[in-house]
Structure 1
């Protein structure tokens, strides 16, 4: 199996890959390195953020959303990398000491954002997570914020069924992926355990493929697990990195799987790289923010 690092860039904590089909561009972030990155063809653009950043998602309006420690901002994609032009869009979680983590848009173009206790020091060092103080929030195009869950540890994975009646959502502190029924008023039923814990690391980000399987990155597990609709392991995809963090399907046919990763104490040569591999099954498209 041939693994390719798509650039020479190595992140401290690579995360949140997003494939923008209209522009054939890959977006991702380095949370600890405070960078928003975009790859178009062979050209990598990097915007240096003033704070930790957890997600970088293009908008229908032509700019992008970035989730920073102090709030959700709009980023002018024409602004220079060392002087990014940022405009505050909303503050989803006002709790001091929290930071954003997982963030994705559903098929209606609404941003869902999970937050957690800040676990990154000023110099990028790891800090222990000792409080379950995170939450899950939905942000509409008019910047209205709706709280959905509270008391979360490390929120990861945001996937919705095609009819938007079911959310697959993970908490890495529990080592478990859950499913929530989404009520007609948009609120969530209590979590039902769906997969985990598992001996191959803890759950991080995930992606759907077109056959309805979930590909879940396993932090400290050096692999992705392909999971069936009823939460069984269908396939183990071994990786040359210690800490894969998330994945997304891209390319013209959505058969290229991109995988972000983080540095680790094991110091494998590809730790922190964005990897790519061709698969025999396509994935589902990402959705831009509708505002």
Structure 2
């Protein structure tokens, strides 16, 4: 498969791609660079955040949510890039020293947010992860926060079954993707191992296609793995970046995979780029935040 960079922008830690079908826009972030980015056509808009930002998700109300270290904020999309207008929406995880990481909306438009010990210095440098202090939280449109999991290392991947009875969730600290059944009261059953360690890097973010297969970005693995619903490897998609971080299906037919990536000591020319790869199966649409 042929991959191309969609812009000249190179992130320190690109993450959280979101395809907004109504506006045909791609949203993503540079966590370490403190940037929220949106691509419409050939136009890239960049909002410089005051803190590390892990996700950038449009809302039904017309603005967007950004998940910063200190909380979840609403961003006025009409505000200038160097002076973004931010309004605190909620604080999901009050644990000192934690930051937001993975975040996606379920089919009901509720935000699920995974947090972790902050591992990024003020200059974008890596810091060691010394504790499993992260959690998983669900945030409703009225800003009500429900804690779901505790003791997480590096939360990555948030995807749901079509019937809404299970969530696929990863902890990169364990090199494992899990499946949790969702109880009728909204809480989670204990984790079941769905896909364990693999020789091609560690698990990062994922997207689900229309056939229920999961496309998982492999940190330090230079590839995506397409995983069947029973958790076996269906195919390997080679990529010209060292550290792919996540992916999302986009374009009008949902057959373009947009793949974020991070800078790497290997220094490949496309490291940090957002790649576009055409595939033979459509993906599932992203869901805006319902508030």
> Which portions of structure 1, spanning 4 or more consecutive aligned residues, are displaced by more than 4 angstroms?
none
- Whole-angstrom CA distance in 1 between matches of 2:283 and 2:71: 30
Task: Look up the SS of the partner of 2:177 in the other structure.
Answer: strand
Deviation of 1:69 after TM superposition, in Å, equals 0.4
Deviation of 1:63 after TM superposition, in Å, equals 0.1
> In the comparison of the two structures, how many residue pairs are matched?
291
Task: Look up the SS of the partner of 2:174 in the other structure.
Answer: coil
- Whole-angstrom CA distance in 2 between matches of 1:236 and 1:2: 13
- Whole-angstrom CA distance in 1 between matches of 2:115 and 2:63: 23
| Partner residue, 2:125 | 125
- Whole-angstrom CA distance in 1 between matches of 2:126 and 2:13: 10
The residue correspondences of 1:1-291 to structure 2 (distance < 5 A) are 1-291=1-291
Deviations 1:25-65 (A, max 9, x none): 00000000000000000000000000000000000000000
Deviation of 1:181 after TM superposition, in Å, equals 0.3
- Whole-angstrom CA distance in 1 between matches of 2:279 and 2:93: 38
Deviation of 1:196 after TM superposition, in Å, equals 1.3
The TM-score normalised by the length of structure 2 is 1.00
Deviations 1:95-146 (A, max 9, x none): 0000000000000000000000000001100011110000000000000000
Task: Look up the SS of the partner of 1:173 in the other structure.
Answer: helix
Deviation of 1:163 after TM superposition, in Å, equals 1.1
- Whole-angstrom CA distance in 2 between matches of 1:289 and 1:266: 37
Task: Look up the SS of the partner of 1:82 in the other structure.
Answer: coil
- Whole-angstrom CA distance in 2 between matches of 1:162 and 1:61: 25
Q: Which runs of 5+ in 1 are unaligned?
A: none
- Whole-angstrom CA distance in 1 between matches of 2:12 and 2:133: 24
- Whole-angstrom CA distance in 1 between matches of 2:22 and 2:153: 35
- Whole-angstrom CA distance in 1 between matches of 2:190 and 2:145: 20
